[in-house]
């Protein structure tokens, strides 16, 4: 199965978990809205001045006579009266425009510098035609009852700011998705174990650590599960138990065709296997299925394969479970600055570094050296994946390719 087909299959079959939480705005970053959220008031809630200056009656101003200053309106301290004929009020940005006024004259338009400060004073303005009235009417930003944010939206710092400004204090969000992460392999030890304590053949379990970090800003409750030994019975029992407690399980390793690879067969035995093996490099041995209501991804163990498949398949799938749309892949045209050898047959995602020498200029990209899927170091300094379509032959320097910025994939 090609990557696009696998993504389409996942997107078609997966759906949001049910259940919501009512939470305060302050803890809502990155949560997904469960229902539309409406403005609780109009913004601005009162006619507000857009500038520092003087609130006047347009009719008076047109007569070009001095106006009598009767008070001031500051942000948070409105002028208490209303404006009569021949009067003006000193006003500042964000302050309430007093009743009777329908025009703000900017303070730069005073006829004499330093004038227009004292109540009772006659204020003279330059003779000019105001560009606009500099008054923000009620609801000019948002109308009371307007939808600020639809259902199924991820709450960003920007949306949360809008909600705060519109008087929203609690929101109904989709409950967090419970995700269990398993590593598998007898050779694995916890990161943090001193290197000298590793026995011959042992390596650190980096995948569990990477996966948790890749997913932690999604609205998920991550459960680090005990590492799976390379033993069929242990794997079966652990997956069956965890599937009861989680909405999604993500394993890495043990999904290939080696003698110690039990994940694919175990998913099939305990539940259903939807697909196993992709026409994708890195990431060929990938299994997806379900055990009861729990979705299970068996990711390949090679660290680069784990990351690439997590970004291209697991993360968008999780977004659906979390109640929102899967992110579309952002592809940008670039020109190869190094050459790539590729035989047609399998789509490949290499790690690359792109840069744009001048603004608006061509984006140049180079790969990060030998692209072995064990070489986590190919991600060092990388800022994109280079997409090599399955039909593609060798790509000489100067070839056009699509790149997928990591900033987007990691968002």
Work out how close the CB of 206 gets to ligand AMP at its nearest, in angstroms, rounded to a whole number: 4
Of these partners, ligand AMP, Mg ion, none, which one is at the site of residue 264 (CB under 5 to 8 Å by kind)?
none
Q: How many helices (H) and strands (E) in the chain?
A: 9, 25
Nearer to ligand AMP by Cβ, of 224 and 407: the residue is 224
Check binding of 264 to Mg ion (CB under 5 A).
Answer: no
Place of tokens 């991550």: 222
Long-range contacts of 362-371 (CB under 8 A, 24+ apart): 362/334, 362/335, 363/332, 363/333, 363/334, 363/335, 363/403, 364/334, 364/335, 364/336, 364/337, 365/334, 365/335, 365/336, 365/337, 365/401, 365/403, 366/336, 366/337, 366/338, 367/338, 367/340, 371/304
Which backbone phi and psi does 116 adopt, to 5 degrees? 75, 30
Work out how close the CB of 160 gets to ligand AMP at its nearest, in angstroms, rounded to a whole number: 35
Nearer to ligand AMP by Cβ, of 112 and 203: the residue is 203
Q: What is the C-alpha separation between 158 and 166, in angstroms, rounded?
A: 13
Give 96-144 as a DSSP string. Answer: BPPTT--EEEEGGGBSSTT-S-STTPEE-B-----SS--EE-TTSSB-T
| Region at 3 (left for phi over 0; alpha for psi -120 to 50; beta for the rest) | alpha
Closest CA to 281 of 344, 204, 336, 207: 344
Nearer to ligand AMP by Cβ, of 140 and 234: the residue is 234
Closest CA to 10 of 409, 385, 404, 312: 312
Of these partners, ligand AMP, Mg ion, none, which one is at the site of residue 188 (CB under 5 to 8 Å by kind)?
ligand AMP
The residue count of the chain comes to: 411
Cα 199 from chain centroid?
Answer: 41
Nearer to ligand AMP by Cβ, of 52 and 187: the residue is 187
Site string for Mg ion, 147-186 (x = CB under 5 A): --------------------------------------x-
- Let me know if 239 is exposed, middle or buried by CB neighbors in 10 A (0-12, 13-18, 19+): buried
Select the residue interacting with Mg ion from 98, 180, 219, 253 (CB under 5 A).
Answer: 253
Q: What is the C-alpha separation between 395 and 402, in angstroms, rounded?
A: 12
Nearer to ligand AMP by Cβ, of 115 and 229: the residue is 229
Of these partners, Mg ion, ligand AMP, none, which one is at the site of residue 392 (CB under 5 to 8 Å by kind)?
none
**Residues facing residue 106 across a β-bridge:** 53
> Residue with CB nearest Mg ion?
185
Work out how close the CB of 234 gets to ligand AMP at its nearest, in angstroms, rounded to a whole number: 14
Q: The tokens of 163 are what?
A: 């909600």
Residues numbered 185-214 forming contacts with Mg ion, rule: CB under 5 A = 185
Nearer to ligand AMP by Cβ, of 44 and 301: the residue is 301
Work out how close the CB of 300 gets to ligand AMP at its nearest, in angstroms, rounded to a whole number: 6
Work out how close the CB of 172 gets to Mg ion at its nearest, in angstroms, rounded to a whole number: 43
Nearer to ligand AMP by Cβ, of 165 and 206: the residue is 206
Of these partners, ligand AMP, Mg ion, none, which one is at the site of residue 207 (CB under 5 to 8 Å by kind)?
ligand AMP
Of these partners, Mg ion, ligand AMP, none, which one is at the site of residue 302 (CB under 5 to 8 Å by kind)?
ligand AMP
Work out how close the CB of 334 gets to ligand AMP at its nearest, in angstroms, rounded to a whole number: 30
Nearer to Mg ion by Cβ, of 253 and 285: the residue is 253
Check binding of 254 to Mg ion (CB under 5 A).
Answer: yes
Nearer to ligand AMP by Cβ, of 188 and 249: the residue is 188
Instruction: Please give the C-alpha separations between residue 240 and each of 234, 237, 326, in angstroms, as whole numbers.
Output: 10, 5, 27
Check binding of 219 to Mg ion (CB under 5 A).
Answer: no
Residues near ligand AMP (CB under 6 A): 183, 185, 187-188, 203, 205-208, 252-256, 258, 300-303, 374
Work out how close the CB of 321 gets to ligand AMP at its nearest, in angstroms, rounded to a whole number: 23
Positions touching Mg ion (CB under 5 A) are: 185, 253-254
């Amino acid at each position: 199965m090609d990557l696009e087909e696998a993504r389409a299959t996942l997107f078609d079959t997966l759906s949001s978990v049910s259940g919501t939480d009512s939470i305060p705005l302050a803890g809502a970053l990155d949560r997904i809205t469960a229902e539309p959220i409406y403005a609780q008031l109009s913004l601005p809630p009162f006619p507000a001045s857009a500038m520092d200056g003087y609130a006047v009656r347009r009719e008076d101003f047109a007569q070009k006579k001095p106006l009598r200053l009767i008070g001031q309106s500051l942000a948070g301290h409105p002028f208490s009266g209303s404006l009569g004929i021949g009067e003006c009020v000193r006003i500042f940005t964000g302050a309430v425009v007093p009743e009777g006024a329908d025009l703000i004259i900017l303070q730069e338009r005073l006829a004499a510098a330093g004038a227009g400060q004292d109540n009772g004073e006659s204020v003279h303005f330059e003779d000019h035609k105001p560009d606009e009235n500099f008054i923000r009417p009620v609801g000019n930003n948002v109308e009371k009852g307007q939808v600020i944010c639809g259902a199924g939206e991820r709450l960003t710092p920007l949306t949360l700011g809008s909600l705060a400004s519109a008087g929203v204090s609690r929101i109904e969000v989709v409950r967090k998705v419970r995700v269990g992460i398993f590593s598998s392999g007898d050779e694995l030890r916890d990161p943090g174990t001193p290197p000298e304590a590793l026995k011959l053949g042992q390596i650190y379990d980096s995948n569990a650590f990477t996966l948790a970090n890749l997913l932690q800003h999604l609205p998920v409750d991550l459960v680090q599960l005990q590492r799976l030994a390379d033993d069929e019975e242990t794997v079966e029992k652990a997956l069956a138990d965890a599937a009861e407690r989680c909405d999604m399980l993500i394993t890495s390793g043990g999904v290939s065709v080696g003698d110690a690879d039990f994940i694919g067969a175990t998913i099939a035995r305990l539940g259903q296997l939807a697909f196993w093996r992709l026409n994708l490099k890195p990431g060929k041995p990938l299994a997806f299925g379900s055990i009861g209501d729990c979705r299970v991804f068996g990711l390949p163990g090679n660290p680069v394969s784990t990351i690439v498949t997590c970004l291209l398949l697991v993360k968008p799938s999780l977004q659906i479970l979390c109640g929102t749309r899967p992110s579309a892949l952002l592809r940008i045209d670039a020109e190869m600055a190094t050459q790539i050898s590729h035989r047609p047959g399998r789509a490949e995602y290499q790690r690359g570094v792109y840069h744009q020498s001048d603004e608006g200029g061509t984006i140049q990209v180079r790969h990060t050296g030998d692209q072995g899927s064990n070489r986590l170091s190919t991600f060092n300094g990388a800022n994109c994946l280079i997409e090599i379509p399955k039909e593609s032959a060798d790509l000489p320097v100067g070839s056009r390719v699509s790149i997928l910025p990591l900033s987007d994939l990691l968002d």
